[in-house]
């Protein structure tokens, strides 16, 4: 089992390159099912969620070619629409995009329920209702398989009861080749929704209004292949910006879209950091100790829920009392008990956490409960006095490419360790 070992207290300094957006790429890879010739996608991060999605596409008959470090060519011409079993879908949440893409291409789909980070109940009722509104009959079969069946998706007006990134993306995938027009009201506006719309339009689709809360999709008969480069990862960038500020460092985060980072940049400024925006990079410089702030996570363009744990780590040692409200998920504060092990003083009441800033955190053995909580533990270890060991780091590898090597490049005293029953061995980067 691998863990990450950090000797904290070192301010991060230098430059770091941000990779492609995990939550955009997983949608784009699913969208290749809708075309019958080759899609070439660049700026793909080398993370385990992407590897699993490519494996699933290959298992379903796609021709998948990795070209260099961050480019993939996919041809789904010879593609079977068999059942996508639980042993494949359970590894991550985005496997449910296969429902929308398979239904959009074949008029039917059978995909087992997704996995993904445990934040309490994560219903998919909005996805199901969207498919039904597009004419699908929906059955729940054994082994957690969801089956969609119809002649062909038919355009319709769909009002989402909840602003859902996944449901918005899944309905766009299902509607892109539907007969007629589909309008999604109360749609999610995240950058990865816009990236999917741009990708589909480069394949010959007609998706308008992405990035607003009303998206109109004129169904088209066929889609063709394309060449495309996905957007940078807003959350990876935000994680490194937060780590820079939390360690009192000075870091230039390269290859970002500053507009996507606004809510995060503004909160770092409110906490006392200096944030300078350039065309495709952002400089973060921070004093030794930051100030308190109040945050409520909201759908884009609000403060992203995927940045909540990272700020939990940062605020646990900021001056004063901070308040973190989780506006999206039922239970996304589990990681707080790991910060308390490091000396943080935190009270959680439902979806609100109150953090009394302590002068410094103390190194400890901690666990990554999920992807972003794992990133928060790494940030806490970088901030802390002494040594921190983070276990269950497979969660972190789901969404961060080479996080240890990138942090080493910023001067952090951090390394991976393989732990065996009888001892430990260091692993490069
Ligand atoms: C996506 O999850 C992301 N995952 C999550 O990122 C992210 O936290 C989330 O959007 C919010 O931004 C991927 O893109 C693969 P939602 P998703 O549907 O689509 C409720 C990460 O770390 N809801 O926008 O599952 C839901 O319970 C991951 O990269 C329903 O009630 O999130 C939640 O309270 C973690 N019914 C809210 O909506 C539904 O049918 C928002 O969820 C769907 C969702």
The DSSP 8-state label assigned to residue 409 in this structure reads T
Whether the pTM exceeds 0.85: the reply is: yes
Residues 8 and 122 in one domain: no
Beta bridge partners of 157: 183
Among the candidates 212, 229, 246, a domain finishes at: 229
Among the candidates 184, 199, 229, a domain finishes at: 229
Integer Cα distance of 46 and 69 in angstroms: 8
Residue with tokens 């590894």: 91
pLDDT (tens place) for every residue of the chain, 429 residues total: 899 999 999 999 999 999 999 999 999 999 999 998 999 999 999 999 999 999 999 999 999 999 988 999 999 999 887 899 999 999 899 999 999 999 999 999 999 999 888 888 889 999 999 999 999 999 999 988 999 999 899 999 999 999 999 999 999 999 999 999 999 999 999 999 999 999 999 999 999 999 999 999 999 999 999 999 999 999 999 999 999 999 999 999 999 999 999 999 999 999 999 999 999 999 999 999 999 999 999 999 999 999 999 999 999 999 999 999 999 999 999 999 999 999 999 999 999 999 999 999 999 999 999 999 999 999 999 999 999 999 999 999 999 999 999 999 999 999 999 877 666 677 765
- Furthest CA-CA distance within the chain: 63
Q: Pull the structure tokens for residue 418.
A: 């393989």
CATH number of the domain that residue 49 is part of = 3.65.10.10
45 lines ligand 1 (CB under 6 A): no
Residues 282 and 332 in one domain: yes
Beta strands 214-218 and 181-185, pairing class:
antiparallel
Residues 149 and 278 in one domain: no
Q: In what order do the strands lie in the sheet with 226-229?
A: 63-67, 71-75, 38-42, 226-229
CB-based burial of residue 235 (10 Å sphere; 0-12 exposed, 13-18 middle, 19+ buried)?
buried
Kindly list the distances between the CA atom of residue 123 and the CA atoms of 16, 305, 391, in Å, as whole numbers in the listed order.
36, 17, 28
Closest ligand 1 atom to residue 192 Cα is 14
Residues 323 and 243 in one domain: yes
Task: Indicate the number of domains in the chain.
Answer: 2
Atom 44 in ligand 1: which residue has the minimum CA distance?
A: 164
Integer Cα distance of 339 and 366 in angstroms: 8
Q: Pull the structure tokens for residue 204.
A: 């010959």
Atom 30 in ligand 1: which residue has the minimum CA distance?
A: 123
Tell me, in angstroms, the distance from the centre of ligand 1 to residue 234's CA. 16
186 lines ligand 1 (CB under 6 A): no
Of the listed 117, 226, 271, 293, which one is catalytic? 117
Residues 286 and 338 in one domain: yes
Residues 91 and 225 in one domain: yes
Residues 6+ apart with CB under 8 A from 85: 112, 143, 145
Integer Cα distance of 69 and 33 in angstroms: 22
Among the candidates 203, 229, 255, a domain finishes at: 229
Residues 197 and 266 in one domain: no
Q: Which structural domain range is residue 81 located in?
A: 22-229
Active site residue 226: no
């Amino acid at each position: 089992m691998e863990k990450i070992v950090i000797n904290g207290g070192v301010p991060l300094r230098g430059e770091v390159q941000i990779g492609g957006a995990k939550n955009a790429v997983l949608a784009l890879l699913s969208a290749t099912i809708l075309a019958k010739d080759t899609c070439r996608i660049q700026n793909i991060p080398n993370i385990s969620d992407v590897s699993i999605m490519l494996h699933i596409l290959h298992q379903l008959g796609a021709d998948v070619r990795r070209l260099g470090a961050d480019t993939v060519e996919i041809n789904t011409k010879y593609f079977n629409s068999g059942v996508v079993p639980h042993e494949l879908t359970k590894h991550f949440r985005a496997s449910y995009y296969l429902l929308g893409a398979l239904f959009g291409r074949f008029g039917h789909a059978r995909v087992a329920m997704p996995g993904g980070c445990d934040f309490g109940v994560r219903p998919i009722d909005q996805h199901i209702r969207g498919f039904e509104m597009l004419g699908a009959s929906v059955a729940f079969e054994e082994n957690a398989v969801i089956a969609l069946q119809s002649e062909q998706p038919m355009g319709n007006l769909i009002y989402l009861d909840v602003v859902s990134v996944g449901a918005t993306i899944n309905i766009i995938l299902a509607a892109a080749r539907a007969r007629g027009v589909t309008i999604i009201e109360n749609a999610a506006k995240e950058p990865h929704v816009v990236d999917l719309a741009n990708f589909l339009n480069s394949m010959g689709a007609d998706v308008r209004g992405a990035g607003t809360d009303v998206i109109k999709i004129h169904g088209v008969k066929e889609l063709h292949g394309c060449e495309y480069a996905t957007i940078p990862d807003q959350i990876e960038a935000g994680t490194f910006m937060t780590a820079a500020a939390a360690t009192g460092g000075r870091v230039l985060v390269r290859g970002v879209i500053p507009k996507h980072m606004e809510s995060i940049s503004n909160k770092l400024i409110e906490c006392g950091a200096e944030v300078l925006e350039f065309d495709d990079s952002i400089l973060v410089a921070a004093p030794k100790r930051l100030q308190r702030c109040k945050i409520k996570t909201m759908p884009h363009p609000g403060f992203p829920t995927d940045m909540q744990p990272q700020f939990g780590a940062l605020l646990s040692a900021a001056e004063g009392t901070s308040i973190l409200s989780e506006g999206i998920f039922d239970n996304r504060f589990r990681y707080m008990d790991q910060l308390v092990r490091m000396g943080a003083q935190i009270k959680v009441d439902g979806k609100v956490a109150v953090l009394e800033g302590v002068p410094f955190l103390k190194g400890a053995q901690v666990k990554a409960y999920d992807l972003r909580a794992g990133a928060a533990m790494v940030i806490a270890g970088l901030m802390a006095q002494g040594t921190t060991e983070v276990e269950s780091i497979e969660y972190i590898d789901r969404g961060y490419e080479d996080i240890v090597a990138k942090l080493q490049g910023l001067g952090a005293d951090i390394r991976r360790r393989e732990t065996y029953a009888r001892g430990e061995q260091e692993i490069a980067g």
